[in-house]
Structure 1
Amino acid sequence: MSEFRYYRPNPFPPVVKNLIIINVLVFLAQLTFQNSKTVDLDNLFALHDVHSVFFKPHQLITHLFMHGGFDHIFFNMFALWMFGRELENSWGAKRFLIFYMACGLGAALLHLGVLYFEMEPVMKVFRSLPADQQALYLESPEFRVNTATLGASGAVFGCLAAFGYLFPNTMIYVYFLLPLKAKWFVLIYAGLELWLGIKNSAGDNVAHFAHLGGAVTGIILVLLWNKTDRRRFY
């Protein structure tokens, strides 16, 4: 007789738990140094346009652990726990960590690509200025290319997209009230992000294409992995 073993899902699997801890610690560091005149964590570790003097390659990763406020980190970490734990329990720690970081990187690359084309007209005007005027803009926070992007949203959107693909009929309660199947929730949310990204309204400081980049990367990875793993999820 074959032996049957039941493995109870871990409500806080190790990668999800440690990612949440790291994000919280970094957020506390941001609060500690937010008024510092000598240490600017945003300029050092948040993601900047490649035109900016503050851009550094390591920001493609480090921006994933920074957040712009309590509500920002709370909802990102809640979504990471809600969707990420299911993925980690299904895949294991190593595969989930690779997936999470790849989605964050994919989100950053798409965001930078879109930002590059958006900022090129601004940079053409900037390059036409005399050197002394250019110097006034180079490190100015008002200069659009110096605007920082931060947050785990891109990686979290990858988790959401994978969850919607692997567990399409699982019910998600939007605002804890409205029941909606995961597959429809993902499609509606992605469509909204695409529309808002194309609309590009003035005053909208959300990186919609970063969200889409994370989601697309997540779906691509799941499709590739599912070629050799034919298990079906609910």
Structure 2
Amino acid sequence: MGRVTDAIKHLLIINILFFVATSLYGDQMYQWFSLWFPENSNFGFWQVLSHMFMHGGFMHILFNMYALWAFGSPLERMWGRNKFLFFYFSAGLGAAVIHTAVNYYNFNAGMDALLAAGWQEDQVMQIIMEGKYSPEWYNAASERTITNFLAAFNTPAVGASGAIYGILVAFGMSFPNSELFLIFLPVPIKAKYFIPVLVALDLFSGVTGVSIFGSGIAHFAHVGGALFGFIMMWYWKKNQFNQNRWD
């Protein structure tokens, strides 16, 4: 891969600094810089950007930063620093938009079910704003509806994964025949096959709630980053904009 390119070097440094600060100040950092549901009192407009530098643990930041370096380096060399940063943050913001939109859908579905069961909206909001819930709510709708409703309001999103999924898509479209050697696969697999399957698995997990990657993953943020990455790559290629560098 060669030396670390300028944009990726600075992104790595900022992410590591945020991780160290989170290790020191914990809950305060998560409260300020994670991406909260807009109706939650912890929400701040800056979080659509700051959440990209927050991570939930060592393995989380390790895999994200490795992917940023491995797949982002060829793109920055091809595009130039400024164009890479534009793409990276656009994919990350797109991930935040899709994630928040899905959260609004889940929140409204749960609230509608509770209102239909006779609960008052202000009563429900008072309970969840205190970080609580009523066991009776699970009698008003399916377990998944109420679980998604509570998660949408109470669970913040952290991580660079949305932006990195955009980078993965761009890498796959730019270097489709590159062979990837993965720990869990004993044979190399071309990027044009692996990356679509990875995104499809996230979409499957987001829709069904069945995750092979573990719990606590913002699958639709991954899908959103991939979608915005694909749209940008498709538009750039269509307009021959992909040939331009922004140094």
TM norm structure 2: 0.81
Query: Paired residue for 1:64?
Result: 52
Q: 2:131 aligns with which of 117, 132, 140?
A: 140
- For the 8 Å contact 2:33–2:50, the answer to whether it is kept is yes
Separation of aligned partners in 2, 1:66 and 1:209: 17
Pick closer, same or farther for the CA change 1:151–1:205 going to 2, 3 Å.
same
Separation of aligned partners in 2, 1:158 and 1:193: 13
Q: 1:138 Cα shift?
A: 1.0
Separation of aligned partners in 2, 1:47 and 1:141: 20
Q: Bigger shift: 135-144 or 84-93?
A: 135-144
Separation of aligned partners in 2, 1:222 and 1:160: 11
2:212 is aligned with 1:224: no
Separation of aligned partners in 1, 2:176 and 2:121: 54
Q: Bigger shift: 66-75 or 40-49?
A: 40-49
Q: Percent identity?
A: 38
Q: 1:10 Cα shift?
A: 4.9
What SS does the aligned partner of 1:211 have? helix
Separation of aligned partners in 2, 1:140 and 1:110: 24
Query: Paired residue for 2:6?
Result: 14
Counterpart of 2:201, as a letter, is L
Counterpart of 1:170, as a letter, is S
Query: Paired residue for 1:154?
Result: 162
Pick closer, same or farther for the CA change 1:228–1:52 going to 2, 3 Å.
same
Counterpart of 1:80, as a letter, is L
CA RMSD after TM alignment: 2.2
Q: 2:43 aligns with which of 48, 55, 59?
A: 55
2:165 is aligned with 1:169: no
Separation of aligned partners in 2, 1:63 and 1:230: 28
Counterpart of 2:224, as a letter, is G
Query: Paired residue for 1:27?
Result: 19
Separation of aligned partners in 2, 1:33 and 1:73: 17
Q: 1:129 Cα shift?
A: 5.8
Q: 1:164 Cα shift?
A: 0.3
Higher-helix-fraction structure: 2
Separation of aligned partners in 2, 1:129 and 1:215: 35
Separation of aligned partners in 2, 1:105 and 1:128: 34
Count of paired positions:
218
Counterpart of 1:200, as a letter, is G
Q: 1:154 Cα shift?
A: 0.2
- For the 8 Å contact 1:10–1:89, the answer to whether it is kept is no
Q: 1:204 Cα shift?
A: 2.9
Deviations 1:69-106 (A, max 9, x none): 00000000000000010100000000000000000000
Q: 1:134 Cα shift?
A: 4.5
Separation of aligned partners in 1, 2:132 and 2:156: 9
Structure 2, unaligned stretches of length 5 or more?
A: 134-149
Separation of aligned partners in 1, 2:14 and 2:242: 34
